[in-house]
């Protein structure tokens, strides 16, 4: 008979850390966050500089290879990514199996997972060349799959990629072109889209990235791992927060109702939380939120949207929360999701596409982290322990005697 009081006696050091708040699961050279100071670096480069001066595919290269590319390397990388933007034609028929009113994230989990049924060569994760091909395929195909999920949802025909466009321009083209009227690229909006992708590219060991690593640690193929990451990202405490934040701003509606919602957020008997506020790691301003706020203003200006009521509510809410004792004491600042919803709405996306766009942008982070893990000589299958608090050992009782 096992005495459960002695269960953990001989396990050596054993930490119980719900939510892994202070347990590192890996070594990584990709992304650094200083949550107290509000610093985010990719391979050492501040996110502000990458978002201001660079572009998304350059950040992808940086995350994957560890260095910024030379002009020649960039050209070669862009060529290799654009080579993979198409998806197997049979996959387009796969979409028709979904209901039109399905959430696009549900479609993404299914379609990305299905890539492993189409690209068998990328399943061999022991081959470094195939790992890189799988990485390029994922980065290249995500915009196509995301745009297809959108088009299917709204009942329009799929639009094929145009490889002479930039990554962000091509995505907007695939989402907003219709047969009778091709999408006209607006450089300000395309730049905003690109910046949103950069801001979401990686964020070290968050829930979805940890999910990708954990799935990958068993040797599962990269497409299946990314599908697992997408499923995790969907939750409202993670990537689903941008959708939830915009819904909340619409529900608040006018500035005079803000105090009511602030009071609800503070009430411990009310499960309501201010969406787009707070972060597990940042106990200071999320540096991405500042860039997102600026990008939001640029997009609204470009589109001539003046006095947007949602933006007004958002700015007032931010102002009030930043001066409220509860939020100050708990170090709850706006996160990247707070302003991204308003920006994406202005760009023309419905709320249920917001998390899809996050998944698209985060794919490079997931795949870079997955590659790093596979190539780590210390890599072992991820296997968290538990603290068992269930029944002690007991004997089976036949059903008629219970
Ligand atoms: N509104 C009101 N109170 C909050 C909020 C919020 N948004 N966030 C945290 N708190 C409070 C909690 O009630 C808790 O209070 P207590 O100490 O009195 O119990 C305290 O702050 C700490 O909160 P935890 O949930 O323990 O913090 P944790 O690090 O586990 O959670 C999280 C972080 C999930 C992001 C949380 O702040 C939250 O739910 N925010 C809203 C959802 C959101 O915006 N998510 C996006 C995250 S960023 C991203 O995924 C890109």
8 Å CB contact between 179 and 157: yes
> Is residue 204 a contact partner of residue 235, using CB atoms and an 8 Å limit?
no
Residue 88 Cβ < 6 Å to ligand 1: no
Tell me, in angstroms, the distance from the centre of ligand 1 to residue 268's CA. Answer: 12
Name the residue among 276, 296, 295 with its Cα closest to residue 286.
276
Query: How many C-beta neighbours within 10 Å does residue 223 have?
Result: 23
ipTM, 2 decimals? 0.93
> For residue 246, how far is the Cα from the chain centroid?
16
Torsion angle of C-alpha atoms 125, 128, 132, 138, degrees rounded to 10:
0
> For position 306, what pLDDT does the model report?
82
pLDDT tens sequence across 174-206:
999 998 888 999 999 999 999 999 999 999 999
**pTM recorded for the entire structure:** 0.91
- The residues that bridge with 42 in the sheet, in sequence order, are 31, 45
For 361, the token pair is 């942008």
Q: What is the tens place of the pLDDT at every residue in 43-82?
A: 999 999 999 999 999 999 999 999 999 999 999 999 999 9
**Which ligand 1 atom lies nearest to the CA of residue 281?**
29
Residue 8: predicted pLDDT: 61
Q: Which of 69, 70, 67 is nearest to 29 (CA)?
A: 67
- CA of 200, closest atom in ligand 1: 51
**Would you say the CB of residue 278 lies under 6 angstroms from ligand 1?**
yes
Residue 12 is classified by DSSP as: S
264 lines ligand 1 (CB under 6 A): no
Is the distance from the beta carbon of residue 332 to the nearest atom of ligand 1 less than 6 Å?
A: yes
- Beta carbon of 327 within 6 Å of any ligand 1 atom: no
Segments of the chain with pLDDT less than 50: none
Q: Which structure tokens are listed for 323?
A: 């001066």
Mutate to test the pocket of ligand 1, among 238, 258, 278, 329 (most ligand atoms within 8 A of CB): 278
Residue with CA nearest ligand 1 atom 14? 330
Q: How far is the CA of 296 from the centre of ligand 1 (A)?
A: 23
- Which residues are catalytically annotated? 279, 337
Report how far ligand 1's centroid is from the alpha carbon of 277 (Å).
Answer: 7
274 lines ligand 1 (CB under 6 A): yes
For the CA of 279, the nearest atom of ligand 1 = 35
């Amino acid at each position: 008979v096992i005495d459960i009081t002695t269960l953990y006696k001989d396990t050596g050091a054993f930490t119980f850390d719900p939510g892994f708040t202070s347990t590192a699961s890996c070594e990584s050279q990709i992304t650094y966050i200083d949550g107290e100071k509000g610093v985010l670096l990719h391979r050492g480069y501040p996110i502000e500089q990458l978002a201001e001066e660079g572009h998304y595919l350059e950040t992808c290269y940086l995350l994957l290879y560890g260095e910024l590319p030379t002009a020649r390397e960039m050209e070669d990388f862009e060529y290799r990514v654009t080579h993979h933007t198409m998806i197997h034609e049979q996959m387009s028929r796969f979409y028709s199996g979904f209901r039109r009113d399905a959430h696009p994230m549900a479609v993404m989990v299914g379609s990305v997972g299905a890539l492993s049924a189409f690209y068998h060569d990328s399943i061999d994760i022991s081959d470094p060349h195939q790992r890189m091909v799988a990485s390029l395929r994922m980065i290249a195909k995500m915009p196509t799959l995301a745009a297809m999920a959108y088009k299917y949802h709204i009942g329009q025909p799929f639009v094929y990629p145009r490889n002479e466009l930039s990554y962000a321009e091509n995505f907007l083209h695939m989402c907003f072109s219709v047969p009778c009227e091709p999408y006209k690229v607006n450089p300000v909006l395309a730049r905003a889209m690109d910046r949103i992708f950069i801001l979401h590219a990686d964020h070290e060991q968050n829930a979805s990235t940890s999910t990708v690593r954990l799935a990958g640690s068993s040797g599962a193929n990269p497409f299946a791992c990314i599908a697992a990451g997408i499923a995790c990202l969907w939750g409202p405490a993670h990537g689903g927060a941008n959708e939830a934040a915009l819904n909340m701003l619409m529900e608040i509606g006018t500035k005079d109702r803000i105090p009511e919602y602030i009071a609800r957020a503070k009430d411990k008997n009310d499960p309501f939380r201010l969406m787009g506020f707070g972060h597990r790691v940042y106990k200071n301003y999320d540096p991405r939120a500042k860039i997102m706020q600026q990008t939001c203003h640029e997009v609204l200006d470009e589109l001539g949207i003046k006095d947007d009521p949602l933006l007004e509510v958002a700015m007032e809410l931010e102002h009030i929360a930043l001066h409220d004792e509860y939020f100050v004491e708990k170090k709850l600042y706006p996160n990247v999701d707070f302003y991204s919803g308003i920006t994406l709405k202005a760009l023309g996306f419905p709320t249920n596409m917001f998390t899809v766009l996050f998944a698209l942008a985060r794919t490079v982070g997931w795949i870079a982290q997955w590659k790093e893990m596979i190539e780590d000589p210390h890599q072992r299958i991820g296997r968290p322990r538990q603290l068992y608090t269930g029944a002690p050992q007991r004997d089976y009782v036949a059903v008629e005697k219970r």
